[in-house]
Chains A and B, each alone.
Chain A
Amino acid sequence: MASNSSSTAQQRLRIIAGHLQKRPEDEHPSVAAQECKAETSRSNPSSATPVPKRRQEIMKWNGWGYSDSRFLFNKKGQAEFTGKRYRLSGLILPSLKDWFEGTFGANLQHKSPATPTVNLSAVAPPDLNEPFVEDLKAAGVAMSHDPEDRVFRAHGHCLHEIFALREGRIGRVPDMVVWPSCHKDVEKIVELACKHNVCLIPYGGGTSVSSALECPREETRSIVSLDTSQMNRILWIDEKNLTAHVEAGIIGQDLERQLNERGYCTGHEPDSMEFSSLGGWVATRASGMKKNIYGNIEELVVHIKMVTPRGVIEKSCLGPRMSTGPDIHHFILGSEGTLGVVTEVTLKIRPIPEYQKYGSVVFPNFQQGVACLREVARQRCAPASIRLMDNEQFQFGHALKPQVSSIFTSFLDGLKKFYITKFKGFDPHHLCVATLLFEGDRGKVLQHEKQVYDIAAKFGIHYKKHLCVCVQDLGMDYYVIGESFETSVPWDRVLDLCRNVKERIVRECKERGVQFPPLSTCRVTQTYDAGACVYFYFAFNYRGLSDPVHVYEQVEHAAREEILANGGSLSHHHGVGKLRKEWMKESVSGVGLGMLKSVKEYVDPQNVFGNRNLL
């Protein structure tokens, strides 16, 4: 659903490599899909289902991403990125080990390997609502109550969820999974769910980081996971109005690839776009890396169709803006699966940009970096993407640098380093880096680039270099756990918030008996007129702790309190889920929460959509 930090590396690399990597060829043939009864014909011949119903066959079941791509430490103790999917794949990363050991005090001798396969005996037998199952069978909707299928849909990518899986602990899981293949199927499922009073939990890409997919413990009804992955077609493209009508189960990268084949793109690239779905974006108010050009999801949608227990909600036309009372889209956007299932979305599309250019700027310190981003935002000339990482992340980026191929590049690197640290007097323990992406037609990009670098020159120096971040899974194998969380904050508070939250994390870890200082870093990932989006990354070595996940959760809780106390928002785009529910009232006022509750009461009085997120 929402973007997730640990995918950043894959995502970033994929884009940086200029879409060089090959499509995965080892696709699992999809389980025979039901013939769709909707009248729309299959408009796109190349729409091979990228996500099979049996996701576990290509995905890691207890971590992020594909099962063949991962970091590991090889026998020589050097880090290696396996698989063939990414540019880093197969490369040796010589400095990662030192960084890893130096930062976390982790030792490669101390391994805490994951349970290799899921322990199916720990999965409780399904509690099926037989009449519902019968009616569904009669309607011809694909379904399964296979334990693996069910476990796979019982979690998102929160640290505690992944960690529990690694340790083989399995809690409440859905009792069955259904795969609607079109809008009509969804209508049928929702109708039957209401009739037989079962609990529905919509499931898109499974990338939630807000415990949104967790089955509520107190739920006594049969829980049905509604997996939208088979609703993945582009139904039509309107080149006159530059819109596309798409089924909501489509995964980000497939949507983009298929549009690219037609010469278009949506430009919506959340960090999770390899796995997250269109419906998930709508349901969580997702944000894409290139929102400066294309907008966030709420600016991209023209029309949304959602099936609720009361029936289907949608607008009657495709007008670009309406003044018809409060925008009903805003009841749907961010509803996090509590009101219904988004089935079809009309999105704005754009022609593929002619030219893309990457760059970096190095700043002597984080303050200068933020000042530069603020100035860029003030002049409203932000490139497609501009991200600023702090010194700790810069050092991590260094650790991820692959083994250099020739003496010459090594020499060049040394020269650059010498220039920045000695000539410009930048302290390597303070300097930080912004990465930029320009997009559009060539002439304009170059002009734009100059404008931005002219501003940047007042704060830092332009420097070519690429960086990436991803180690969650690797860390877990070596007693290191970590995750990320985000917020949005007015410009004048960015620095104070970053410093205070980072320091709070360090202090909380210390108080809770974490033996080594944690990695506590942040980056500014989006700029707005009135503020910025900030991401925090936090990881620590948990050796010697009896309940590391609990410690992690306490620290994350404290960090969130700190964010709120420093004028940050509860979430910029990850959503609230169940993880951040307790702060909703404080965030939107009692009246605001009451409004949302009354909408829920009207739309879903039986609480069929019973994931208990948000409210």
Chain B
Amino acid sequence: MFSVFIQPRHPVLKKRDDFEDVLEERRRSSDLRYALRCYTPTLYKGLVPCKASMLKSIVLQSDHLQYVIKQVSSESGDSAECVAEEASLILDEMAHRLQLSTIRFFAFTLSKAFKRLFRSVCVNEEGIQRLQQAVQEHPVVLLPSHRSYMDFLMMSYLLYMCDLPLPVIAAGMDFMSMKFVGEMLRMSGAFFIRRSFGGDKLYWAVFSEYVKTMLRNGYAPVEFFLEGTRSRTCKSLTPKMGLLNIVMEPFFKGELFDVNLVPVSISYERILEESLYARELLGVPKPKESTSGLLKARRVLSEDYGSMHVYFGHPVSLRSLAEGKINRSQYNLLPRYIPQKPRVDTHEFLNDAAFRLVRIQEENMVLKPWVLIATLLLQNPDGLELSFLTEQTDWLRHLALAFGAFLDWPNHEACSEVVSCSLALHRHLLSVSAGHVQLNVTDAPQDETTPEEAVFHRAVVVLSCASYRNQILHVFLRPALLAVAMQSANSNRKDDVYNCFNFLRNMFSNEFILCPGDSVQDFEEACYLLMKRGVLQVLEHEIVMSASGHSTLAFLCSVLDPFLQGYQVVCRCLCEETNENLTEKEFIPAVRSFALKLILAGRLKCCEALSSDLQKNALAALLRLKAVRKVKVGDQVTLKVNKIAVNSLEDTLGGKIPTLKPILARL
């Protein structure tokens, strides 16, 4: 296998565009005039002019929807008119009502808001130019990363600013319940989809036809979030395939020559929802979106959120992506309006494409110096001397750059200057005294707080901080997996190390973005990066650590440490669980209280084990590895745990026993 040389990716050599601050102009000239300026967007050359109101009738009259209406009517026994009426109602509930006047309103108010919130909003000019080109040639799908509510407001704001066509945005139904705001969003191009409509054929048909019609007619760029929802951890989420399949189908079926997929990476120096997310991860339920909630959020306006970066990636031609992977003639033998489930190869392609697009998002995500500092602070819970922190940050900076990180490091500024600036912006997470920097974990405990509350309080700070470290994980992930694999393989043989690497990669593939089937490539990439850094020597059958490599490997191992510990806690919890009928719903509270007990007993230091995101991902991995099964009992889903398997996974993760051979893909 290793004899087949796979071209390692060279992330370091990737050239990135320069940024320009779009707020600069806004600070100099009138926002009102800006909001009322002449807006003449670049248009798609194949545009079929069509009003929002006409869209509805096109969708309802479409062969596809008519076919499904008849099908549903004959299955349910309802009259076709009745089903058609239902379809019309679904569409009313869903449809956007994009209006320029609303956009102008937002252009005005958001200009004001952004100027107060952010020091700068930086956009890559060349990305905009590429998008301008792409928009003319083929229908465009915008795929921004999703870290904050701000994301889609910012997207529309920027597109309006750059004279690009305003997108229609797939949004979750929960927004719609916000009075007034829901309608405002609708008028700025959002359309609303239910969170779950698994078996509802009619809903799916209306929804997919609506999106496809807009795409086919070149009505507007379609924007949605591959990750499906906001990432509470700032790690990219495993992409969802549903909408991606919908926007790709018109190409597969020959209805469009091509579709331009444009990944957009939006990164924040400080996330507005920072502590909100941490609380949510710890089980404080998410407040329902409401207008009053939003108004309360007004206090956020008075804080400093640093700068924000939006990077428009290179448009990815769906046609080139599918070249040689999708045989479009598979659609030749069935009328195209009859819905078809994607075939296995199509599904694989979708999955692969989705992962690749998310990886592009990750790679183009701008990282601030604070991300490096947060990583170091998390690894040193007892704090560091400021001078040592500065030194370490500088070291880490060079490591990150060598691994291809997109780091926004101020030019011509001393490292100590940069570090103290970052510390100032995030001071609410820190305590700095007498040159000693520490996470704010030992905040003066008040008398009435219980030990549990103290732990949760500490966890909020740790998880907030982790959300910054998580932003750079994709840079270190592969080398870190290799570092841990080398440690636990207890062997220099390449095969053994690869086995371990593959086990870990497999274990964590719900936690991180790891393209399925890329394990050899990932391994090669990790070897390449560490070799280039002088940490390893990769021989034909052996991998040997260099004398100077120890500190780098130790750092990389501790990057993954919270996850290794967290997964072990989940495994332990499931093994020690006495309730035979643990339901899926009870899982998270059970793990949480288990972890809490361990922390209180002093047997666990790592607060990240309390994160529900980690717990969910661990469960998904165990389900995938078939160590846990879901069994439906009545309307409850219970988890059947294969304790032997879970126990051995835990031991393998802890490095207690060598990697289990049978679980692995063979070399």
Contact = CB atoms under 8 A, between A and B. Distances in A.
Interface of A: 492-493, 496-497, 499-500, 503-504, 564-567, 586
B336 A500 contact: no
A291 B132 CA distance: 48
Given A492-B335, A492-B336, A565 B254 contact: yes
A567 B257 contact: no
21 contacts: A492-B335, A492-B336, A493-B254, A496-B254, A496-B255, A497-B254, A499-B257, A500-B254, A500-B257, A503-B257, A564-B329, A565-B254, A565-B327, A565-B328, A565-B329, A566-B254, A566-B328, A567-B254, A567-B329, A567-B332, A586-B329
Interface in B226-260: 254-255, 257
Which 8 pairs, one residue from A and one from B, show the smallest C-beta to C-beta distance?
A565-B328, A566-B254, A567-B332, A503-B257, A496-B254, A500-B257, A565-B329, A564-B329
B133 to A, nearest CB: 14
A222 B327 CA distance: 42
A410 B336 CA distance: 48
Nearest to B332: A567
B138 to A, nearest CB: 9
Contacts of A493: 254, 336
Contacts of B327: 565
A471 to B, nearest CB: 27
B2 interface: no
Contacts of A504: 257
Contacts of A497: 254
Contacts of B255: 496
Of B255, B332, B336, chain A has the most CB atoms within 10 Å of the CB of B332
A567 B331 CA distance: 8
Of A499, A566, A586, chain B has the most CB atoms within 10 Å of the CB of A566
Contacts of B336: 492-493
A496 B46 CA distance: 12
Nearest to A586: B329
Contacts of A586: 329
A564 B328 CA distance: 8
Contacts of B328: 565-566
Given A492-B336, A565-B328, A567-B332, 8 more contacts: A492-B335, A493-B254, A493-B336, A500-B257, A564-B329, A567-B254, A567-B329, A567-B331
Contacts of B257: 499-500, 503-504
Nearest to A503: B257
A493 B335 CA distance: 10
Contacts of B254: 493, 496-497, 500, 565-567
A503 B255 CA distance: 13
Contacts of B329: 564-565, 567, 586
A508 to B, nearest CB: 12
A499 B335 CA distance: 19
Contacts of A566: 254, 328
Nearest to A500: B257
A566 B256 CA distance: 10
A492 B62 CA distance: 13
A46 to B, nearest CB: 50
Contacts of A499: 257
A496 B253 CA distance: 9
A565 B257 CA distance: 11
A106 B336 CA distance: 41
A564 B327 CA distance: 10
A128 to B, nearest CB: 46
A22 B361 CA distance: 71
Interface in B298-344: 327-329, 331-332, 335-336
A356 B75 CA distance: 54
A496 B332 CA distance: 13
Nearest to A495: B255
Of A492, A496, A586, chain B has the most CB atoms within 10 Å of the CB of A496
A493 B254 CA distance: 8
A496 B327 CA distance: 17
Nearest to B253: A496
Nearest to B328: A565
Of B254, B255, B327, B328, chain A has the most CB atoms within 10 Å of the CB of B254
A493 B253 CA distance: 10
Nearest to A565: B328
A500 B254 CA distance: 7
Contacts of A496: 254-255
B575 to A, nearest CB: 53
A493 B329 CA distance: 12
B163 to A, nearest CB: 24
B433 to A, nearest CB: 63
Contacts of B332: 567
A429 to B, nearest CB: 12
Nearest to B336: A492
Interface in B242-290: 254-255, 257
A500 B257 CA distance: 5
A500 B259 CA distance: 12
Nearest to B250: A496
Interface in B328-379: 328-329, 331-332, 335-336
Nearest to A566: B254
Of B257, B331, B336, chain A has the most CB atoms within 10 Å of the CB of B257
Of B255, B329, B331, B336, chain A has the most CB atoms within 10 Å of the CB of B329
A503 B257 CA distance: 7
Contacts of A565: 254, 327-329
A566 B255 CA distance: 9
A504 B328 CA distance: 15
A497 B256 CA distance: 10
A34 B329 CA distance: 53
Contacts of A492: 335-336
A420 to B, nearest CB: 21
B661 to A, nearest CB: 40
A504 to B, nearest CB: 7
A496 B328 CA distance: 13
B498 to A, nearest CB: 38
A293 B257 CA distance: 36
